[in-house]
């Protein structure tokens, strides 16, 4: 049993992929779960990474993802519990379910690979693992629409999976995230997120490590003190602080930092997870209350790499949305997309006030 009375049950899908059920405390679901009796094709060949010599970055070419389901009707929801007419990915009814992605960008093979240096025509196997995290058996929703109990179960699943995935051979970084809304490119309305486990330290994190090397190991502590002294804080708790960052890129952008140094989700205490289940949902519900329709977003858990920077890189959640008005979206045009030179559309302090109003209404 995990913390908070949450239970975990292991299972296997018909093609050998791992499936884990995480049951809410006091769940009435049975301990025995149905067997996946589908006749599935073999898993697709693992993707291959190619290096971009202009940046040194590695690009995973995962062509099997072209075949994934796009916006199916509710009766063919691949993340809902299986029925006689819907041979979905999850055989039994569940509270929270996690399984290996059928068409992953990384994996399923594992192992350390040499990625240093820059050259032409360099390739490497896309080692790693990609998992799907189903937040609920319901067809529609998001993390913000969950109950406090269910949100706590999802957080416990993130903790458990991060700990496990970080222990796998060759994994350098673990990234839980949620994409919400068709404007973000979501292909399933079912409330869910994903977890990517990379064979390298991601470019964004590598740039963070470079900034820490220039600034010093107190970067995150100093950012938190700086932001807490500003009018950009949108919500503050005993363990977490949510704020619009000083140099926000997106029209809607909220960062959530723990009030003490924590490298990743497994390092959080049960009390910190309890508060997060409340505070994080309030942030998301506040974003949804800004307009008459739900706000599209990417919610990204930035965790310290598995083996470097753990004393300096602090766990942080970054929620970003391209929504810059009721019916307006920010598109990455020439400066942002081609040059990585961002132009903010709104003053961060004004957006913080706008988001605080949304949180109060929600």
- Rounding to the nearest 10 degrees, give the CA dihedral for residues 8, 304, 235, 3: 20
Residues 98 and 244 in one domain: no
Residues 143 and 225 in one domain: no
Residues 258 and 310 in one domain: yes
Residues 258 and 192 in one domain: no
- Among residues 127, 190, 192, 302, the one annotated as catalytic is 192
CATH number for position 305: 3.30.428.10
Query: Which of 165, 200, 235 is the last residue before a domain boundary?
Result: 200
| CA–CA dist 345, 98 (Å, integer) | 37
- Within 8 A by CB and 6+ apart from 274, the residues are 4, 152
Strands 7-12 vs 18-23: parallel, antiparallel or unpaired: antiparallel
At 66 the pLDDT is 66
Query: Which of 178, 200, 222 is the last residue before a domain boundary?
Result: 200
Q: Are 257 and 240 in contact (CB under 8 A)?
A: yes
Grouping H, G, I as helix, E, B as strand and the rest as coil, residue 338 is helix
> What total number of domains does the chain contain?
2
At 214 the pLDDT is 98
| CA–CA dist 252, 82 (Å, integer) | 37
Q: Is 192 a catalytic residue?
A: yes
Residues 186 and 293 in one domain: no
Could you list the mean pLDDT of each consecutive 10-residue stretch along the chain, which spans 362 residues? 90 97 97 95 94 98 75 90 96 98 96 96 98 97 98 98 98 98 90 98 98 98 98 98 98 98 98 98 98 97 98 98 94 92 95 98 95
At 187 the pLDDT is 85
Query: Which of 176, 200, 224 is the last residue before a domain boundary?
Result: 200
At 238 the pLDDT is 98
Residues 99 and 112 in one domain: yes
At 183 the pLDDT is 92
Residues 274 and 176 in one domain: no
- Rounding to the nearest 10 degrees, give the CA dihedral for residues 253, 279, 160, 78: -70
> What is the enclosing helix (H) or strand (E) of 166?
helix 148-166
At 1 the pLDDT is 60
Q: Is 197 exposed, middle or buried (0-12, 13-18, 19+ CB in 10 A)?
A: buried
Residues 209 and 188 in one domain: no
Whole domain around residue 82: which residue ranges?
Answer: 3-200
Residues 264 and 148 in one domain: no
| CA–CA dist 227, 241 (Å, integer) | 9
Residues 136 and 246 in one domain: no
At 67 the pLDDT is 67
Residues 108 and 169 in one domain: yes
Q: Are 327 and 213 in contact (CB under 8 A)?
A: no
The whole-model pTM stands at 0.97
Residues 44 and 192 in one domain: yes
Query: Residue 190's CB: how many other CB atoms inside 10 A?
Result: 22
């Amino acid at each position: 049993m995990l913390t908070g009375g949450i239970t975990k049950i292991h299972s296997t899908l018909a093609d050998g992929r791992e499936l884990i059920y995480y049951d809410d405390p006091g769940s009435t679901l049975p301990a025995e779960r149905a067997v996946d009796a589908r006749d599935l094709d073999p898993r697709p060949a693992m993707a291959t990474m190619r290096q971009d010599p202009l940046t040194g970055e590695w690009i995973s070419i995962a062509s099997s993802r072209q075949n994934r389901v796009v916006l199916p009707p509710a009766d063919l929801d691949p993340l809902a519990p299986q029925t006689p007419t819907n041979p979905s990915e999850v055989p039994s009814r569940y509270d929270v379910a996690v399984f290996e992605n059928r068409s992953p960008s990384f994996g399923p093979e594992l192992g350390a690979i040499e990625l240093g240096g820059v050259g032409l025509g360099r390739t490497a196997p896309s080692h790693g693992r990609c998992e799907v995290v189903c937040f609920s058996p319901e067809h529609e929703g998001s993390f913000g629409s969950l109950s406090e109990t269910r949100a706590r179960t999802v957080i416990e699943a993130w903790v458990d999976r991060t700990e496990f995935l970080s222990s796998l051979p060759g994994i350098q970084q673990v990234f839980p995230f949620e994409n919400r809304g068709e404007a973000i490119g979501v292909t399933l309305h079912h409330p869910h997120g994903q977890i990517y486990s990379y064979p390298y330290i991601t470019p964004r994190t590598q740039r963070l490590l470079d900034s820490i090397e220039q600034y010093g190991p107190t970067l995150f502590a100093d950012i938190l003190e700086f932001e807490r002294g500003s009018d950009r804080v949108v919500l503050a708790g005993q363990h977490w602080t949510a704020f619009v960052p000083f140099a926000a890129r997106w029209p809607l952008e909220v960062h959530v930092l723990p009030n003490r140094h924590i490298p990743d989700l497994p390092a959080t205490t049960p009390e910190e997870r309890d508060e997060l289940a409340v505070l994080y949902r309030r942030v998301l519900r506040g974003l949804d209350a800004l307009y008459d329709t739900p706000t599209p977003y990417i919610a990204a858990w930035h965790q310290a790499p598995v083996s470097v920077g753990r004393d300096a890189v602090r766990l942080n959640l970054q929620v970003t949305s391209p929504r810059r008005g009721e019916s307006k979206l920010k598109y990455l045009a020439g400066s942002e997309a081609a040059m990585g030179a961002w132009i903010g559309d709104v003053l961060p302090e004004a957006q913080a006030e706008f988001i605080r109003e949304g949180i109060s209404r929600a």
